[in-house]
Chain A
Amino acid sequence: GAVVSQHPSRVICKSGTSVKIECRSLDFQATTMFWYRQFPKQSLMLMATSNEGSKATYEQGVEKDKFLINHASLTLSTLTVTSAHPEDSSFYICSALRGEAYNDQSNQPQHFGDGTRLSIL
């Protein structure tokens, strides 16, 4: 199966700290990865689309200077929350699409990591 590893699973840190979250595809190459955020009792909200070797595409209302995304290889994307504040506390989840060709790539499912619970004190 398609395995996506996300690390760390939980972070608790002081306000003003920068936090890096890693998302790795373990058994496939992921040309595209996505970053979502989920607040309690809310739906998953897409933050950005990360493509290997190019700049991420951010959704409206997501600050690109605050949420830095790097997709330097076909198996790794990172999200760095810079100068995190309590309002950034949330559940951050990455997902990945396989890089190999499908007959119809729009029918590819996304494979999710286990998520990172970020708590800013």
Chain B
Amino acid sequence: QKEVEQNSGPLSVPEGAIASLNCTYSDRVSQSFFWYRQYSGKSPELIMSIYSNGDKEDGRFTAQLNKASQYVSLLIRDSQPSDSATYLCAPSPHQAGTALIFGKGTTLSVSS
């Protein structure tokens, strides 16, 4: 059973700052990771996926993966109040067609 550890937060940052969200995992077999954002009362939405070691940038978001350290992170630059949500990290399943398993996620609060 994969285990994903995220600091539940809340992580509070001022508007315009960089928010850093971290995720560690225990399963060395995991090949890729997904970051989902979930607003309160809403369903998760995919914001980024990362498959290779290193950084992947998409607009204000940068995902970082270090498979040797079993660590994945999400950086949000120029944080906005609209970024306030819970961010979920999920490793890809071993077997195609099986479900993502989510932890509790990290709640981010961006103050204006």
| A to B contact number (C-beta, < 8 Å) | 61
Say whether chain B's binding surface is mostly helix, strand, loop, or mixed: loop
C-alpha gap A44/B36 in the complex (Å): 12
A7 proximity list for chain B (CB < 8 A): none
Interface string of B24-45 (1 = CB under 8 A from A): 0000000110101000011111
Contact A114 B100 (CB under 8 A): no
Q: What count of chain A residues pass the 8 Å CB interface test? A: 27
Q: List 19 A-B contacts (CB under 8 A).
A: A6-B43, A31-B97, A43-B88, A43-B102, A49-B97, A49-B98, A95-B99, A106-B92, A106-B93, A106-B96, A107-B31, A107-B49, A107-B92, A108-B96, A109-B49, A112-B36, A112-B44, A114-B42, A115-B42
> Which A residues fall within an 8 A CB radius of B?
6, 31-32, 34, 42-44, 46, 49, 51, 91, 93, 95, 97, 104-115, 117
